[in-house]
A and B are shown apart, each in its own frame.
Chain A
Amino acid sequence: MIRMELSKLLRRPRTWITIALLSGLPVIVGIFVKASGLAPRPGEGPALLSEVLNNGLLFPAAALAIILPLFLPIAVSVIGGDSVAGEASAGTLRYLLTRPVGRSRLLLAKLVTIVTFIFLAVVVVALVALLAGVVLFGIRPLSSISATELSPFETFTRTAMAILYIGWSMLGLGAIALFASTRTDSPLAASLATLAAFVGSQVLDLIEATRSIQAYLPTHHWLKFVDFYRDPILWRDVNEGIVLQAIYVAVFLGAAWANFTTKDITS
């Protein structure tokens, strides 16, 4: 079942077009930064972009910082929202479920495909950006954000950790999308509901009045991945982010499961 779901994901042109678009945007930004020699000043613009002129090895992290605030969550919302509702609207859901397939198992397979998509996307974006970064900016020793030096190898491992963290950060949204996807037969409605949750979280994260709940918002810790580039790594916020995502996944996956396993399939 899981194998079949993955094969559907990987054989679908949409998957690769989405990933190509996600990878393309940072490359375009990189080309303009290189051509103009104008990087944002430290503390402005996407995280770490200020540093890439000095070192191409940081470009993967900068690339992820470019897609993280908007494009990656949109992609996750679309793919996740489509996962069950898309099958329902196409009518294939009834054919999957009249095979000897448990509903829990199908839901699990859908979760695995969403997780696969997320990690596939961030890894491909990072690899493309690595290539673009090395070609455009070259490799140099790097000063970390806390002003000590990181070797190229250290930069590399920390980027790997940042990639994993960013992938993990998307799981909460992925679980919300999966839940929304079991609630409706319209993939569009499910994706938009997920986007609404995402935008809502971003809005609440911005204003002063909601300070007391901000640490519990699903998007609050996303940009904390820059802490992997400090020396030593600043673990506190990152750890909070990891635990918080796990809680969101548990809650919404549970809700999706409770809903989907008892639901009348009339599509």
Chain B
Amino acid sequence: MSETSVVRTSALTKRFAGGLLAVDHIDLDVREGDLYGFLGPNGAGKTTTIRMLLSLIAPTSGSIEVLGHEVTLHSPHALEGVGTMVEGPAFYPYLSGERNLFIFDGAGTGGPRRTRRTRVREVIDRVGLADVGNRPVKAYSLGMRQRLGLASALLRAPRLLVLDEPTNGLDAQGIHELRTMFVDLVRDGTTIMLSSHLLAEVELICTRAAMMSAGRIVAQDDVSNLLAPTGWVRVVTPDLERAVRSLQDGPFRYVPTDAHTVRVNIGDRPTELLNKAFVQDDIRVRELIIERPTLEDVFLERTGHGDIR
């Protein structure tokens, strides 16, 4: 993973005409090769931010750089090399899926007409719609439209994919396929920025994440750092009483939670210390679980709503 910035904003701010401050001085940094999760509840300002990145909405202040180009409403070329899906797919229902892709591929510079058919074929195969490509989009199911939307984003092999809630409307199978596809794309050198209000979904695949709440960024880091161990270890043992006695003499804080489990705070010391102490006292350890936060925990903690452990 290199450190080249693909998306960089500085003090990006949007105040709408009605006075609503939707985005408040945010500094995003998406690097090449990231599978970047842009997280936050509905209404946090994610979509407004993404629309600013894609030159649909003019920032009130601050600046945006995408793939090395300054983005303004008047700089369409910054979007060459960017594939998008914003707030659900949209098509011309009276045209076939394939014809829709022709239209979007033909919109704007950067895609030679000679090779258009090949490009359309390629992406429609990739999302598994080759069999229904010549049917009108009005006959497509929600899941098929979502795939077609993704196909449209993949036209011209973009270097950056910006996807807003890409798994909306997909069933479990579809979501799984999509995840696999994202991982494949990133392996092939594409950078993906995807927004979601489903934090658990992002946890599974993203390498970096930013969390947004009420227009501000509350966290932005590698997912492995965000999900670093909490310092608590859960010990499951049939010898709970003796374990507690042994802990009473030790340096760690602990909380028994049920007949067989005790949670121990070992801070940043290695788990094997605890294990060794138990073994020496002849306490049988059935499970030793390092507790990690979920992204949801991190989010709640950073926004001040969490039960901070």
List chain A positions with a Cβ less than 8 A from chain B: 1, 3-4, 7-8, 11-14, 90-92, 94-103, 261-262, 264-266
Contact = CB atoms under 8 A, between A and B. Distances in A.
B82 A98 contact: yes
Interface stretch (B51-59, B173-181, B258-266): B51-59
Contacts of A12: 92, 94
A264 B74 contact: no
Contact of B99 (A3, A11, A266): A11
B152 A95 contact: yes
A101 B107 contact: yes
B91 A92 contact: yes
B273 to A, nearest CB: 54
A8 B92 contact: yes
B173 to A, nearest CB: 25
Most buried by B among A90, A94, A96, A98: A98
A102 B94 contact: no
B169 interface: no
B95 interface: yes
B77 interface: yes
Given A98-B82, A100-B79, A1 B107 contact: yes
B256 interface: no
Contacts of A11: 94-95, 99
Pairs A-B, 10 closest by C-beta atoms? A91-B90, A100-B108, A101-B108, A99-B108, A99-B107, A265-B56, A4-B106, A98-B84, A264-B57, A98-B54
Contact of A99 (B74, B79, B95): B79
14 contacts: A1-B106, A1-B108, A90-B91, A91-B89, A94-B56, A94-B90, A98-B55, A98-B82, A99-B76, A100-B77, A100-B79, A262-B73, A264-B51, A266-B51
B252 interface: no
B107 A96 contact: yes
Interface in B68-102: 73-74, 76-80, 82, 84, 86-95, 99, 102
A259 B182 CA distance: 38
Given A97-B56, A99-B108, A90 B88 contact: no
A8 B91 contact: no
A13 B94 CA distance: 8
B56 A7 contact: no
A155 B152 CA distance: 52
A265 B56 CA distance: 5
Contacts of B76: 99-103
A4 B103 contact: yes
Contacts of A8: 92, 95, 103
Contact of A264 (B58, B78, B99): B58
B160 to A, nearest CB: 12
Contact of A7 (B51, B103, B110): B103
A262 B80 CA distance: 20
B6 to A, nearest CB: 16
Contacts of A95: 84, 86, 90, 104, 107, 152
Given A1-B108, A12-B92, 20 more contacts: A1-B106, A3-B106, A4-B102, A4-B103, A4-B107, A8-B95, A94-B51, A94-B54, A94-B87, A95-B152, A97-B55, A98-B55, A98-B84, A99-B76, A100-B80, A100-B109, A101-B76, A103-B74, A264-B58, A266-B57
A262 B90 contact: no
B94 to A, nearest CB: 6
A98 B103 contact: no
Given A95-B90, A100-B79, A265 B57 contact: yes
Contacts of A7: 102-103
Contacts of B51: 94, 264-266
Contacts of A90: 90-93
Given A97-B56, A99-B107, A261 B74 contact: yes
A87 B287 CA distance: 58
B154 to A, nearest CB: 13
B56 A99 contact: no
A3 B108 CA distance: 11
B88 A91 contact: yes
Nearest to A264: B57
B166 to A, nearest CB: 14
Contacts of A13: 94
A265 B55 CA distance: 9
A5 to B, nearest CB: 9
A186 to B, nearest CB: 16
Contacts of A98: 54-56, 79, 82, 84, 86
Interface in B99-154: 99, 102-104, 106-110, 152
Contacts of B94: 11-14
